[in-house]
Structure 1
């Protein structure tokens, strides 16, 4: 049964929370880009008008996602598990892995000929900014909303997740997505040699997807691209060049220099 009061309560809280996380993270990303010691990923400048277009799309995204979540929460579509500390932590990791699998599938679908028209808006940003993360079309935003609602709904049929763990994951998801589109590398130099890279890739990894349009379809990890064979073989040298203070140019190509 639809309860308008409960829906509005959730919607207002979620809009405020989503907008607040977005604005704070964008500010952090912009500050990192401007820092004197920043490791710039793409050497080309952001084209005029790009940020304004991205901000408009962010406003739409920050309304559509809370709308979907508020509908799910007020309607109790999702079965929630216990909010113990241990299960909240486990829920966080469960949501992270399942969302990465879902997003990889969604992203590959959006790159098909039939669906690319709905994803092209995001790829207008070849040199990314923190605003690029949520700069997507309405159809693509609905795909994100389906993932945000569908992941805990699906897990609820197997191992109901903690609401607290899920909300913390949502914060991590938005924060990581926004700051991960900043045109600056913040990862440690040794990350590519660590098993942790399977679950947390450097920002250069995704920047190459924007530069090349194909490959690197995962959200915040490498495991789906590695398993599916869509990992660029030269991304580690590209990452090392960025960490050495040499931004990428020529649309992210990393051929050896003469």
Structure 2
């Protein structure tokens, strides 16, 4: 194992906790980034303790990548292979996450996902609060799927490891109880990409808005909450947080 491989594995192992702590500090010290609260509700101490406990096996992501290295997978090292791998794993992760996430909401499989959904009001550490089984399924799906693809295309280990770093960074503020994106987000990027508000609705309402980084599959399969954009507008533009976990927002009628 090279020094650069070791370095990025260490980063994968710790970046989730570092970013969760960062966003907690942003909220606790009322930094300007946290001004747009999503729910005007407190997070209770038992939830914090449970999420911290569940976060202890987050370094599993790095451990699974180590196994991939020892198996001789993803051995391309050109810059072109890095870019291609990063693109392909981003696409595959979106598909795998959506499919497995919806499956976890089936009654027969919900035991895998139930631990994560104990947090109906999410926090940055909710992003790390999964059962061991769910983390295992997620990693096997991502890395295993890429390994199959690697039978036909030369893939780069650093492209996959970098995706995990990005996933852990984005997922930490994607579970915060505040929205860091501004009003302009929904004009263009937000028509495709998810927001923190978007995923907060999934936690508070328990279903819908299953997408990881984009709204594409939710729209394609009809699982997007129709007031997602209206809630974003209420939180970010009107500066009016939701008062209850079941609160909905009327969507404006489209003029003919």
TM over 0.5: yes
What is the CA distance between 1:211 and its match in structure 2? 0.4
Q: How is 1:61-76 mapped onto 2 (pairs within 5 angstroms)?
A: 61-62=58-59, 64-76=60-72
Q: How is 1:176-187 mapped onto 2 (pairs within 5 angstroms)?
A: 176-187=170-181
Counterpart check, 1:175 vs 2:169: yes
Q: 1:42 aligns with which of 39, 46, 49?
A: 39
Consecutive unaligned residues of structure 1, counting only runs of 5 or more, are 1-5
Aligned residues of 1:129 and 1:182 also touching (Cα < 8 A): yes
What TM-score does the superposition give when structure 1 sets the normalisation length? 0.86
Q: 2:213 aligns with which of 186, 211, 220?
A: 220
- Residues 160, 47 of structure 1: CA spacing in aligned structure 2 closer, same or farther, 3 A cutoff? same
- Residues 22, 195 of structure 1: CA spacing in aligned structure 2 closer, same or farther, 3 A cutoff? closer
Counterpart Cα distance in 2 of 1:196 and 1:185:
13
What TM-score does the superposition give when structure 2 sets the normalisation length? 0.87
- Look up the match of 2:223: 230
Counterpart check, 1:190 vs 2:184: yes
Counterpart Cα distance in 2 of 1:235 and 1:41:
12
Aligned residues of 2:12 and 2:161 also touching (Cα < 8 A): no
What is the CA distance between 1:18 and its match in structure 2? 2.9
What is the CA distance between 1:43 and its match in structure 2? 1.4
- Look up the match of 1:127: 121
Q: CA RMSD in A?
A: 2.2
2:58 aligned counterpart, secondary structure: helix
- Look up the match of 2:86: 92
- Residues 253, 161 of structure 1: CA spacing in aligned structure 2 closer, same or farther, 3 A cutoff? farther
- Residues 20, 60 of structure 1: CA spacing in aligned structure 2 closer, same or farther, 3 A cutoff? closer
Consecutive unaligned residues of structure 2, counting only runs of 5 or more, are 251-256
1:250 aligned counterpart, secondary structure: coil
- Look up the match of 1:113: 107
- Look up the match of 2:56: 59
- Residues 13, 176 of structure 1: CA spacing in aligned structure 2 closer, same or farther, 3 A cutoff? closer
Counterpart check, 1:242 vs 2:235: yes
Aligned residues of 1:132 and 1:181 also touching (Cα < 8 A): yes
What is the CA distance between 1:254 and its match in structure 2? 1.9
Aligned residues: 244
Cα displacement string for residues 118-153 of structure 1 (whole angstroms, at most 9, x for unaligned residues): 211101101111110120112111112213312421
Moved more, 39-48 or 104-113: 39-48
Aligned residues of 2:112 and 2:131 also touching (Cα < 8 A): yes
- Residues 68, 164 of structure 1: CA spacing in aligned structure 2 closer, same or farther, 3 A cutoff? closer
2:194 aligned counterpart, secondary structure: coil
- Look up the match of 1:24: 18
Counterpart check, 1:83 vs 2:66: no
